[in-house]
């Protein structure tokens, strides 16, 4: 009989974790990590796109780090995280400099090329804040199942780029905090009306940065409910083998 631990905070559950590099069409090397289930195949893949690097966003931004720490074990998901151009984290610094969401088009393409090369299944883009802009602007250029948008500001993504998702066969999922700093549910419903098939999730009491374990659990549950619903809701304890 094993022992149980509560899943919270910085807990890191078993997975295969590999430091990887991505190579962009303009000659840059981006640093990242791929986490996959231990001893069994992935059922789907999350390609994560982090918040704004000029305001502290990077591959270790907490929701993305916790997705990589928990979801390979709890939901059989592969999780790719990487630093976009010019972004630093303990993993290292990616080449280049911040491109204001324009040059990062090549970063998204490099990540998707890596996914194809590895043969990772059913890729979904998982963007948070600035990362949602990249997902909306460039996601349809790649063979993805869909995009999950956490706290989308819709500052850089145009109305035409958003509307292009309508009828395209890739699912759009918008997770909107009630007290977001940039786009709250009422306005978000109007903005996403151009994509009638959007799965719209308004989170009561939520804030842009999803601080706290209850917020983390809610976000990860919503992600898994979309990508691998058989694994939802996620357990709150992990039983370790003897």
**According to the model, what pLDDT value does residue 3 have?**
87
Q: 3-state class of 32 per DSSP? A: strand
Domain hosting 84: range is 3-240
Which parts of the chain have pLDDT scores under 70?
1, 241-242
Return the pLDDT at 1.
58
**What pLDDT score does 108 carry?**
99
Q: How far is CA 242 from CA 1, 72, 113, 197, 215, in A?
A: 6, 21, 40, 46, 31
Which pLDDT value is given to residue 2?
Answer: 73
What's the domain count of the chain? Answer: 1
pLDDT on residue 109: 98
User: What one-character DSSP code corresponds to residue 122?
Assistant: S
CATH number at residue 114: 3.40.50.1820
Rounded-to-integer distance, Cα 124 and Cα 171, Å: 9
pTM exceeds 0.85 for this model: yes
What CA–CA distances, in Å, run from 21 to 122, 161, 179? 21, 29, 36
Coil/strand/helix, residue 10: coil
Structure tokens belonging to residue 229: 């619903």
Given this model, what pLDDT does residue 73 score? 98
pLDDT at 181: 96
Tens of pLDDT, residue by residue over 79-104, are 999 999 999 999 999 999 999 999 99
**What pLDDT does residue 240 have?**
82
Could you give the residue ranges of the DSSP H alpha helices within the chain? 62-75, 104-118, 130-138, 159-163, 185-191, 213-227
Minimal CA–CA distance to 102: which of 134, 74, 69? 134
Sign of CA dihedral 144, 115, 135, 81: positive
Report how many helices (DSSP H) and strands (DSSP E) the chain contains, helices first: 6, 12
């Amino acid at each position: 009989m094993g022992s149980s631990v509560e899943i919270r905070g910085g807990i890191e559950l078993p997975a295969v974790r590999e430091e990887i590099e991505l190579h962009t069409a303009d000659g840059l090397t981006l640093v990242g990590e791929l986490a996959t289930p231990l001893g069994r195949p992935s059922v789907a893949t999350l390609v994560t796109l982090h918040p704004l690097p000029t305001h502290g966003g990077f591959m270790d931004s907490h929701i993305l780090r916790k997705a990589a720490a928990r979801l390979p074990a709890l939901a059989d998901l592969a999780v790719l995280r990487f630093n976009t151009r010019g972004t630093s984290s303990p993993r290292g610094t990616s080449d280049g400099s911040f491109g204001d969401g324009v040059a990062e088009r090549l970063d998204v393409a490099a990540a998707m090329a890596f996914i194809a090369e590895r043969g990772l299944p059913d890729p979904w883009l998982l963007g948070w804040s600035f990362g949602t802009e990249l997902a909306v602007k460039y996601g349809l250029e790649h063979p993805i199942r869909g995009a999950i948008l956490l706290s989308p500001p819709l500052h850089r993504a145009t109305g035409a780029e958003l509307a292009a998702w309508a009828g395209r066969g890739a699912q759009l999922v918008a997770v909107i905090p009630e007290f977001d700093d940039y786009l709250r549910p009422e306005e978000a419903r109007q903005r996403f009306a151009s994509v009638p098939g959007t799965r719209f999730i308004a989170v009561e009491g939520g804030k842009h940065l999803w601080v706290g374990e209850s917020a983390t659990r809610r976000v990860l549950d919503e992600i898994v409910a979309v990508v691998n619903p058989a694994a939802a809701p996620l357990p709150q304890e992990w039983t370790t083998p003897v």
